Structure 1
Amino acid sequence: MQTGSKSGAPKDAEARRAVRPVICYPPETLPRVPMDAYKVALAGAEVTGTARVPPRQARCFRVPAGTFFRIRSLEGPQVGDLNLWAASDLSERFYSGKTRALHGTHVSTGDRLWSAFPYMRPMATVVADDLDWYGIDGDGGSVHDVIGTRCDPYTAHLLSRTQYHHCCHSNLTRALAEELELPLAEAERHVHDVLNVFMCTGFTRDTGQYFMKASPVRPGDAITFLAEIDLLGALSACPGGDCGSAHSSDAARCFPLEVEILRPENGAPAGWEAPAASGYDRSHGL
């Protein structure tokens, strides 16, 4: 955002600025999350698989609908970039922009990750978050953001003229290509804007610029989701480590992350049903 006035303010400028904001998408009208049933199912769930994500790399994982997956910090403060797709159809993928519009700039317990058009349904629900205590700090920062994109080699080259291939975009591309045996160029088309797991971010109050600060995540901290549909996921351990100083760097201290898959003891949570795709009838026009 450019600063400094380029045109004279009208006489009623302060009155115009004082107009009250209106929430675009009132959360009260969203489908209710049966959180009590989800938490009961999580309490009795057992780990059925794990994926370890090395520093500056990414790994894919699969989660059946009605089961849980948990992303955990292992040895030190580490940020992760998460992509999600419907396991049977890569065109249905996580839509960070609409998730942001529905839930806010950062997500936590009870919020959902929504899929792209025309599906527009919850892909995963946050059931537990060890960092929900953080809230919004004095800088306007919070954790688990859906406002950033992902570090990528194209922007890195634009800003610093580097040729760096451990950006999260690159890591996610390689992981998806390996998982599905795709050429890198084809896999790259499916990599999309992320949930920045554990990352602490916000916007500056004076210029509206996206900022990051050192993540408050501690070894052992985790965020846990219920998979609402069959999922293919990919998680990158960001080359910025805790993102306190850089996000495309071989100098930052980086640590591994872990993804656990957990199956509820008695099957899916009580009363749970896989969500249907959007009921909007496109025959009426797009």
Structure 2
Amino acid sequence: MQSFDPSQPDGFNQTLDSTVSADGIPVIAERYTVPARCGVAVRLTAGRTLTITNPTGWQVCDFWAFNAAELHEYLSMPHVHTDLLSVFPKVGDRLVSNLRNPLLTLTQDTSPGVHDTTIAACDANRYKQLGVTDYHDNCADNLRQALLAIGTKAPHVPAPFNLWMNVPVHPDGSLAWAAPVSKPGDSMTFKAEMPVYAVMSACPQDITPVNGDEGKPSALEFVVHDG
């Protein structure tokens, strides 16, 4: 039986052609696009900030960060929950790794602050469960492709920080799918606390209402600044 390679996607899309550069190092202050249904990886040095913008307001961004020197250390939602004693990161909060080290700090959020830290990235099997018979773009593959495109490999697909994703947590512990409450042009800014690879996926979900009631995935934008 062939061994499983977590870095290899089940399918491909425009992600492989959407890099900021061959090594992921961006031009400072240049605005980049994450195409709808695709992903992009960017390398941040410590102290630099990454601002991600939601032009339509309804697009979810699956977001990951990895220690650039050791990709087996990554942004971990369970460890963030423990560190914050909350499932809702807010401005000023640090976002820690699976080794409990700060990777990023959330420094700005123009939206109402409704995001998700509980749901796994969509993948090929998720769409099969939803009744899709052919290959469907998905966030897990976007992560894998985005890192391959800059010459590195995902050792794992961690649960992402789902920016602008609205998954209400009810008092009985149940969850629901709901449309984002963010508005066009909302943005979030993260400061790198160590050198990291940040990966963004413009979620391709078009069956449940996570990308709005009409389910129309759209592009995201981002820019990197010094300090």
TM-score interval, smaller chain? 0.7 to 0.9
Structure 1 counterpart of 2:63, one-letter code: L
Given the alignment, which residue of 161, 164, 183 partners 1:198?
Answer: 164
- Structure 1 residues 160, 244: CA separation in 2 closer, same or farther (over 3 Å shift)? closer
Counting matched residue pairs gives 198
Percent of paired sites with the same residue: 29
Deviates more, 1:53-62 or 1:213-222: 213-222
Pairs within 5 Å for 1:68-147: 68-103=49-84, 104-117=86-99, 120-131=100-111, 134=112, 143-147=114-118
Tell whether 2:147 aligns with 1:176: yes
Q: What's 2:219 paired with?
A: 256
Deviation at 1:98, TM superposition (A): 1.0
Deviation at 1:116, TM superposition (A): 1.2
Structure 2 counterpart of 1:144, one-letter code: H
Larger radius of gyration: 1
Q: What's 2:32 paired with?
A: 51
**CA distance in structure 2 between the partners assigned to 1:124 and 1:173 by the alignment:** 21
Tell whether 2:139 aligns with 1:158: no
RCO (CA 8 Å, sep 6+): is it higher in 1 or 2? Answer: 2
Deviation at 1:113, TM superposition (A): 1.1
- Structure 1 residues 125, 154: CA separation in 2 closer, same or farther (over 3 Å shift)? same
Instruction: Write out the 4+ residue segments of structure 1 that deviate beyond 6 Å after TM superposition.
Output: none
Q: What's 1:33 paired with?
A: none
**CA distance in structure 1 between the partners assigned to 2:132 and 2:52 by the alignment:** 33
Q: If the length of structure 1 is used for normalisation, what is the TM-score?
A: 0.63
Tell me how large the CA RMSD over aligned residues is: 2.3
Task: Please give the secondary structure, in 2, of the residue aligned with 1:91.
Answer: coil
- Structure 1 residues 234, 80: CA separation in 2 closer, same or farther (over 3 Å shift)? same
Task: Please give the secondary structure, in 2, of the residue aligned with 1:145.
Answer: coil
Structure 1 counterpart of 2:51, one-letter code: R
Q: If the length of structure 2 is used for normalisation, what is the TM-score?
A: 0.78
Structure number with the higher helix fraction is: 1
Deviation at 1:210, TM superposition (A): 2.4
Task: Please give the secondary structure, in 2, of the residue aligned with 1:113.
Answer: strand
Task: Please give the secondary structure, in 2, of the residue aligned with 1:259.
Answer: strand
Note the residue ranges of structure 2 that are not aligned, 5 or more in a row: 1-26
